[in-house]
Amino acid sequence: MPRYRLTVEYDGTPYVGWQRQINGPSVQEAIETAGEALSGATAPVYGAGRTDAGVHALAMTAHIDLAKNFSPRTVREALNAHLRPHPIAVLDAAAIDDAFHARFSCQKRYYLYRVLNRRSGAGLYQNRVWLVGPHLEVEAMAEAAQSLIGKHDFTTFRSVQCQADSPIKTLSTLSVTREGEEVHFALDAPSFLHNQVRSLVGTLVQVGLGRWSTDDVKTALEAKDRSQCGPVAPASGLYFVKAEYAGAE
């Protein structure tokens, strides 16, 4: 079957997540349905990440197998036509060798978490950010974040429903910056545990509020105990930014 690499943008608000599930609509299901309408046959789709309910994507890499050959432009345009009115857009499509797998070939995944740090409501940012009213101390959060970078047992920051074989992951980057009224958390790693990003952000926000110290974060990490995690940040502020593959420029 011809395989096409897709770059997909979506608003995760109406979905149970990326992955097809029986309890509601998913992004994967919507794209597979569009692919089937295009090719007249089952069109399996796989993504670089399995985002949770309410999580968004700026450029999720996926691949789709179609029963017929089409030009990449036709794939992009036809999928977008069949996806309407879903808040999902195929930004790009390219023919790819079937050795490529969006999930298993991926070498690094990048995420962004947006906190709107102001007293006023979210307004136009509804379902796009986590609204935190009290002022957040960015420097304190950035300092605490340094203790989380590197290879660790992230059991404390792992959902109890996580199905990963091991809690040990290598966090390559965790930066905290202020962008006007927003505080941005940028993270990248070869792979993440279920709820890891939201757990890390929620914990660091406790530091920004002055409720936790850098030492408290270190202690929580070393405890390897889920009950020691801070409150988990809501899904609305999380974005899958991009996936990285070997040979990519």
DSSP, residue by residue, 226-249: GGGS-PPPPGGGEEEEEEEETT--
Catalytic residue among 52, 98, 188, 215: 52
Give the C-alpha separation, 106 to 192, whole Å: 12
Q: Which amino acid is at 146?
A: Q
Exposure on the CB side of residue 19, measured as CA atoms within 13 A? 8
Q: How far apart are CA 49 and CA 123, in angstroms?
A: 29
- Tell me the CB-side half-sphere exposure of residue 29, using CA atoms within 13 A: 13
CATH 3.30.70.660 domain residues, the chain: 107-244
Q: How far apart are CA 181 and CA 187, in angstroms?
A: 20
pLDDT at residue 161, rounded to an integer: 83
Report which of 7, 29, 32 is spatially closest to residue 17, judged by C-alpha positions: 29
pLDDT averaged per 10 residues, the chain (length 249) = 96 96 94 97 96 97 97 98 98 96 97 97 95 98 98 95 90 97 98 96 98 97 96 97 84
Could you give the CA distance from residue 53 to residue 19 in angstroms, rounded to a whole number?
Answer: 9
In this prediction, residue 249 carries a pLDDT of 45
- pTM for the whole structure: 0.95
Q: For the segment 190-239, what is each residue's pLDDT rounded down to a tens digit?
A: 999 999 999 999 999 999 999 999 999 999 999 999 999 999 999 999 99
Amino acid 163: pLDDT: 79
Residues of the chain with CATH 3.30.70.580: 3-96
CA angle, 58 then 174 then 156, to 5°: 105
**Which residue has tokens 């929580």?**
220
Residue 104 gets which letter from DSSP? T
Question: How many residues would you count in the chain?
Answer: 249
* Fold of the domain built from segment(s) 3-96: Alpha-Beta Plaits (3.30.70)
Three-class secondary structure of residue 36 per DSSP:
helix
For domain 107-244, which CATH number applies: 3.40.50.2300, 3.30.70.660, 3.30.1380.10, 3.50.50.60?
3.30.70.660
pLDDT the model gives residue 248: 58
Annotation says 52 is catalytic: yes
